[in-house]
């Protein structure tokens, strides 16, 4: 059986001209600047079939819009549980700072996005 808390996402955060900002769960506490009308994502490793998933607990909806989540990395076959990468997608719609807070099994993830 695969561990319920599965592997942590190991991709590092990046900013590049080839795509949107990709933040990972190792980036908690950081601040990023994102242009208005640009998208960014935040990815977390999580358990499939556990009682808890990563949840967005707080966002300033006047500055940032949540888009549809995507899921990847489920390598579990014929097992109970397993793990996956849950990617939250967002779009900055107004300038200024906004704190995003996520929770999972008592863990807290906090990142500040400054729209410009």
- For the question of whether the overall pTM of this predicted structure is more than 0.75, the answer is yes
* Phi, psi for residue 6 in degrees, rounded to 5: 45, 175
CA distance 81 to 2: 6
Please indicate, yes or no, if residue 9 is contained in any of the structural domains.
no
Please indicate, yes or no, if residue 54 is contained in any of the structural domains.
yes
Please indicate, yes or no, if residue 67 is contained in any of the structural domains.
yes
Structural domain span for residue 87 = 14-115
Please indicate, yes or no, if residue 110 is contained in any of the structural domains.
yes
Instruction: Give the pLDDT of the chain (116 residues) as one tens digit per residue.
Output: 334 444 333 333 344 456 789 999 899 999 999 999 999 999 999 887 777 889 999 999 999 999 999 989 876 666 667 788 999 999 999 999 999 999 998 899 999 999 99
Please indicate, yes or no, if residue 105 is contained in any of the structural domains.
yes
Q: How many domains does the chain have?
A: 1
Asked if residue 66 lies in contact with residue 90, where contact means CB atoms within 8 angstroms, the answer is yes
Please indicate, yes or no, if residue 98 is contained in any of the structural domains.
yes
Q: What is the CATH number of the domain that holds 66?
A: 2.60.40.2020
């Amino acid at each position: 059986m695969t561990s319920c808390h599965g592997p942590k996402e190991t991709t590092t955060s990046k900013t590049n001209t080839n795509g949107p900002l990709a933040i990972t769960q190792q980036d908690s506490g950081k601040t990023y600047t994102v242009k208005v009308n640009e998208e960014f994502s935040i990815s977390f490793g999580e358990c499939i079939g556990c009682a808890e998933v990563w949840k967005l607990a707080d966002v300033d909806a006047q500055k940032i819009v949540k888009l549809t989540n995507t899921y990847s990395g489920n390598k579990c076959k014929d097992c109970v549980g397993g793990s996956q990468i849950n990617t939250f997608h967002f779009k900055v719609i107004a300038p200024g700072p906004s704190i995003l807070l996520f929770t999972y099994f008592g863990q807290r993830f906090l990142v500040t996005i400054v729209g410009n």
